[in-house]
Structure 1
Amino acid sequence: MKLVEQHKYPAIGQYVQIENQRMHIYTKGNGPNTIVLLSGLGTVSPVLDFEPLINEMSNHNRVVVLEPFGYGWSDKTDKKRTVEHIVGELRSALQQLNIKGPYVLMPHSISGIYSMYYAHEYPEEVKAVVGIDATLPAALAYFNESPPAIPGYMRYAAPIGLARLAVYLDGSAYLPLASEGAYSDENLAMTKAMTAWNGYNKNVIQEASELGDNVRKTAQMSFPSDIPVLFFTRDDGRVSEDGRSQFTFLQTQLTDHPSSTIFPLQGHHYLHWTKSKEMSETVLKFLKDIKDKE
């Protein structure tokens, strides 16, 4: 079944070779900015998941989606999922395709940690950072939380057929919580098939187990003060007993650039499922503001 599905749904982007493994990259659109979308932990296919946001933002800019090893149509790797390896592989893919920076990094969720490392280590390659409810390394200490974890046994979900059974029993549970028409029918069919053959594979489990160390490596880092940042965050009204909220935390992460700002939205952690149009319009204004202040 897996081989049939993989033949039925071939990669929609292109591959680059990184240490004898194939990484899948999808690009769409042209424009003055190159926006690099980076996905959250366990997102089966970033290319498919970001579809509405890609379609909106590619009308005015070049949008690039990199699928790390273990995600989407990319191969799996035996390399540890350290922040150094993950960022190094992403940089190598961009360089091989001659996609030149500086980039607008747009991380969702856990990729906020990788974007922090990228911007801190290679600031000349980063024009701006736009977080989609992004997890930033200092947040765990701020809220006294532990990194999210995925049980190791989940790596067997796809190989022994549990993922396929789960998708068969309730396929909608593995699809974006978006209004009808936000995602194409072909996209939803591919998402379900890919969940069945590739969900919670060894690289995703390894990445989750490495999060503690990746956070420790980046916890004292900050975005360079001259790099503009825009944080999309969920406006869910939650505040801790001592008055701490995601908004108050993000205020501590704003840089000195005059364009840096926080934009609350009502929605799911995957804000792009329902807010892609609003997000795209806000990013356009943000990038125009940066240019006006250059």
Structure 2
Amino acid sequence: MIKRLFVLMALLVLSVGCNRRVGVILDEQINIGTHSLHIYCVGEGSPVIVIDVGIGETGASWQSVQDQLAQDTRVCTYDRAGYEQSDTGPMPRHSKQMAGELKILLENAGVEGPYLLVGHSLGGLNMQIFASQYPEVVIGAVLLDPPPLRWLISGVDFPELYEMFNQQTEDLSRAATAASQSDDPEEKSKASFYLALTSESEELLGESARQVATIGSFDDMPLVVIGSGRPNPSFGDSAEAYQLFWIEQSRALADKSTAGLFILAEESGHHIHQDAPEMVMEAIISMLQQMR
């Protein structure tokens, strides 16, 4: 009898421990007024880690990292408008639009701050806007390879890469048109995704970059910028020079906060959360611990 009691107590402790790590899972489409967005949160605790992804990616691409971070606090990912389970949203898809939608999403989903922001690539631009517009609910940010503003705005440094990106955007636009006119239901269902990608890409080289460029500084907000060290081979002869330029711009971004830090993931490509997940999690958890 006593042995059975100890077994039951052990199972109860294990169950409580698991619940503490997993917390209440939020996996829903939330109405934000103009459309609905899908959000996925796991874990318990505060501050809440909120993750925004790169162009063409969904929150699911962070699942492994999200699950491990959820052992320490609540972690939320979401799908931007036009992606996966989220509805098509208002155009154009620039960073202020997306940051504003994320703020409403968190409020309507009952996910209270403060927030530790994590943004990869385009998500890094969006999170800079979020931090500048809503500083009262932001305790810090970790940005992974946010694209260099000087190049996004003018393209003067590497015009051949600028033209390559413009060509890719035109290809996306044609794909969106073809999908919307297709008689194949499966292909037609991709139209909203292609439209979102097209608008995000166009605004990345325009309004989104200009919006972020107007941010003077982040004062003393804890800020970590993690840059990739491995050149992108698809950039051809410009790959190494562009990578050095990108690193230089990332260092300058970290300097926009008196509490800023730049970290170079030397062996990583652009998808740092996949190539160097331990480094990313260490930076996030370190900031989290400092805030507690």
Shorter chain as normaliser: what TM range? 0.7 to 0.9
> 2:253, 2:35 → 1: CA distance?
35
- Aligned residue in 2 for 1:204: 197
Query: How many residues align structurally?
Result: 248
Within a 5 Å distance, the mapping from 1:213-228 to structure 2 comes to 213-228=207-222
Q: What residue ranges of structure 2 are gaps of 5+ in the alignment?
A: 1-25, 232-238
Contact 1:232 1:265 in 2 (8 A): no
- Aligned residue in 1 for 2:17: none
Q: CA separation of 1:199/1:18 partners in 2, compared to 1, >3 Å: closer, same or farther?
A: closer
Q: CA separation of 1:244/1:222 partners in 2, compared to 1, >3 Å: closer, same or farther?
A: farther
Contact 1:40 1:110 in 2 (8 A): yes
1:129 is aligned, of 122, 141, 153, to 141
Q: CA separation of 1:122/1:136 partners in 2, compared to 1, >3 Å: closer, same or farther?
A: farther
Deviation at 1:34, TM superposition (A): 0.9
Deviation at 1:257, TM superposition (A): 3.5
- Aligned residue in 2 for 1:153: 174
Q: What residue ranges of structure 1 are gaps of 5+ in the alignment?
A: 1-11, 166-195
> 1:280, 1:161 → 2: CA distance?
45
Query: Percent identity between the aligned chains?
Result: 21
**Corresponding position: 1:28 with 2:21:** no
1:231 is aligned, of 225, 236, 247, to 225
TM, length-normalised to structure 1: 0.73
> 2:178, 2:271 → 1: CA distance?
23
The 3-state SS of whatever aligns with 2:101 is helix
Q: CA separation of 1:67/1:222 partners in 2, compared to 1, >3 Å: closer, same or farther?
A: farther
Q: CA separation of 1:217/1:32 partners in 2, compared to 1, >3 Å: closer, same or farther?
A: closer
Amino acid at match of 2:194: N
Contact 2:227 2:262 in 1 (8 A): no
- Aligned residue in 2 for 1:8: none
- Aligned residue in 2 for 1:193: none
Q: CA separation of 1:206/1:291 partners in 2, compared to 1, >3 Å: closer, same or farther?
A: closer
RMSD: 3.1
Amino acid at match of 1:41: I
- Aligned residue in 2 for 1:253: 253
Deviation at 1:49, TM superposition (A): 1.0
> 2:46, 2:148 → 1: CA distance?
27
Greater length-normalized contact order (CA 8 Å, ≥ 6 residues apart)? 1
Deviation at 1:37, TM superposition (A): 0.6
- Aligned residue in 2 for 1:144: 157
> 2:143, 2:183 → 1: CA distance?
35
Quick check: 120-129 or 244-253, which moved more? 244-253
Q: CA separation of 1:110/1:256 partners in 2, compared to 1, >3 Å: closer, same or farther?
A: closer
Contact 1:57 1:280 in 2 (8 A): yes
Contact 1:109 1:133 in 2 (8 A): yes
